[in-house]
């Protein structure tokens, strides 16, 4: 839960005190969405609401809303809760205890049970709750949130090389949930992954980057910690604006030789469909699938078929599909999103953030580089380089 303790009155006070109504009402909007989703409202319903408001305002991105327009979105979210018969708790203290209860009870949710079974986690442990004061990556275009690895998952050796994802003007949940297109942490990462951007944390916010790197070096070199995965938020461009929210041991797989396509450069150039961010695995060809039902159907026809799950974005509810498929390709998200981390840990071939991919799951097709592709069509992905190709391409596994 983020932004617990906010209500309409408090949001209005924050808007007046900070002189930044967009930030205040965006924070309230985010709280309302998380609150509603814990009571069973699907994320798509909120997405549809904000899409309507974007269209009315003639904008493509929520950052272009005015303060009053963002307030209108928040009020529409609040009205959606009321339409669903959900009581919105207004008291900040009562909100806190409700959030604590919801986190404890989430241990027995079906999604959590499925996740533990797939990842080999005991059902007997239970979960903990940490209560932290908020810091705000959505405060301005000089703030942001991200996840940083102390070591590159793609390069050999023990040298500290900052790797990961961040986003400007958003909160950390956007990065972890894979709901936004992310930016690289370091210049080395940006160049190696051939990102279609000139922005990295190192280049755009050098003092924040240096402070983050210094913190990581202190943890590993002085305190002798293992390689780390760190969630962070910065509220401004200065070193003192950086906050470390969470640190945990980084899971680094065996950086072994990966499968590669055997086709020549001309064949690969002709088949090129898009560029994303490679997360795990090497070259793989497979059939397009969108649902667990489709995966099961193809498995019955051909148990050895390679199946690639396509998504606009992925949320934790997709854990069963990710586990059942052999590969994952998404339009949004970065290598530190929940889906990417799960795919990496399960040994799946995974490419995220292929921005020219548009999935139409209801119609069982997608569009990529102007081509329409349907369920069962072959595509090829490179989980190391992040490239997507049309058709079936031979792979060398030796």
Same domain, 277 and 360: yes
- Across the range 333-347, mean pLDDT stands at 88
Same domain, 197 and 169: yes
Tell whether the model's pLDDT for residue 253 goes beyond 70.
no
Burial class (CB in 10 A: 0-12, 13-18, 19+), 322: buried
State which of 225, 249, 273 marks the end of a domain.
249
Reduced to 3 states, what is the DSSP secondary structure of residue 177? coil
From CA 280, how far away is CA 298, in angstroms rounded? 23
Considering the domain boundaries, does residue 136 fall inside one?
no
State which of 228, 249, 270 marks the end of a domain.
249
Reduced to 3 states, what is the DSSP secondary structure of residue 82? helix
Dihedral pair phi/psi, residue 357, rounded to 5°: -90, 130
Closest CA to 323 of 352, 301, 296, 356: 296
**What's the CATH number where 73 sits?**
1.20.80.30
Same domain, 176 and 202: yes
Q: What is the pLDDT of residues 147-162, one digit of tens each?
A: 999 999 888 888 999 9
State which of 82, 104, 119 marks the end of a domain.
119
Same domain, 150 and 41: no
Its domain, for residue 80, covers 8-119
Q: What is the pLDDT of residues 24-50, one digit of tens each?
A: 999 999 999 999 999 999 988 999 999
Considering the domain boundaries, does residue 254 fall inside one?
no
- Across the range 85-92, mean pLDDT stands at 97
Predicted local distance difference test score (pLDDT) of residue 175: 86
Structurally, the chain folds into a number of domains equal to 3
Q: Establish how many alpha carbons lie within 13 A of residue 205's alpha carbon, considering only the half-sphere containing its beta carbon.
A: 29
- Across the range 120-128, mean pLDDT stands at 93
Closest CA to 376 of 322, 313, 317, 295: 295
Same domain, 218 and 270: no
Q: Catalogue the E-assigned strands of the chain.
A: 144-149, 163-168, 183-184, 228-234, 242-249, 260-261, 272-275, 277-280, 283-289, 307-311, 327-330, 349-352, 357-360, 365-368, 371-374, 378-382, 387-390, 395-396
Same domain, 108 and 22: yes
Considering the domain boundaries, does residue 279 fall inside one?
yes
From CA 180, how far away is CA 279, in angstroms rounded? 16
**What's the CATH number where 200 sits?**
3.30.470.20
Considering the domain boundaries, does residue 168 fall inside one?
yes
């Amino acid at each position: 839960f983020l932004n617990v303790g906010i209500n309409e009155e408090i949001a209005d006070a924050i808007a007046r005190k900070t002189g930044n109504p967009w930030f205040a009402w965006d924070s309230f909007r985010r709280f309302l969405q998380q609150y509603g989703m814990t009571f069973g409202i699907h994320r798509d319903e909120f997405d549809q609401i904000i899409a309507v408001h974007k269209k009315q305002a003639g904008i493509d991105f929520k950052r272009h809303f005015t303060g009053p327009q963002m307030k209108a979105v928040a009020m529409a979210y609040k009205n959606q809760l009321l339409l669903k018969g959900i009581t919105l708790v207004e008291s900040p203290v009562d909100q806190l205890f409700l959030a604590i209860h919801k986190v404890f009870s989430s241990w027995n949710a079906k999604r959590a049970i499925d996740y533990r079974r797939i990842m080999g986690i005991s059902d007997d442990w239970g979960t903990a709750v940490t209560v932290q004061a908020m810091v705000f990556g959505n405060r301005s275009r000089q703030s942001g949130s991200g996840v940083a690895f102390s070591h590159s998952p793609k390069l050999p050796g023990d040298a500290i090389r900052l790797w990961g994802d961040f986003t400007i003007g958003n909160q950390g949940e956007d990065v972890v949930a894979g709901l936004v297109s992310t930016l690289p942490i370091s210049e080395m990462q940006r160049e190696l992954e051939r990102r279609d951007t000139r922005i990295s944390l190192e280049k755009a916010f050098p003092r924040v980057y240096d402070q983050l790197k210094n913190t990581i070096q202190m943890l590993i070199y002085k305190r002798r910690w293992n390689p780390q995965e760190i969630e962070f938020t910065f509220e401004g461009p200065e070193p003192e604006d950086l906050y470390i929210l969470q640190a945990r041991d980084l899971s680094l797989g065996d950086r072994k030789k990966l499968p590669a396509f055997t086709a020549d450069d001309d064949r690969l150039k002709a088949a090129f469909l898009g560029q994303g961010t490679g997360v795990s695995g090497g070259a793989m060809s497979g059939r397009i699938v969108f649902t667990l039902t489709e995966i099961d159907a193809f498995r019955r026809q051909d148990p050895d078929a390679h199946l690639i799950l396509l998504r606009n974005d992925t949320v934790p509810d997709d854990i069963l599909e990710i586990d059942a498929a052999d590969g994952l390709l998404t339009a949004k998200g970065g290598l530190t999103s929940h889906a990417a981390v799960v795919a990496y840990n399960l040994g799946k071939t995974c490419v995220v953030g292929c921005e020219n991919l548009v999935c139409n799951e209801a119609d069982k097709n997608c569009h990529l580089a102007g081509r329409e592709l349907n369920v069962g069509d072959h595509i090829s992905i490179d989980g190391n380089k992040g490239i997507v190709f049309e058709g079936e391409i031979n792979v060398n596994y030796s």
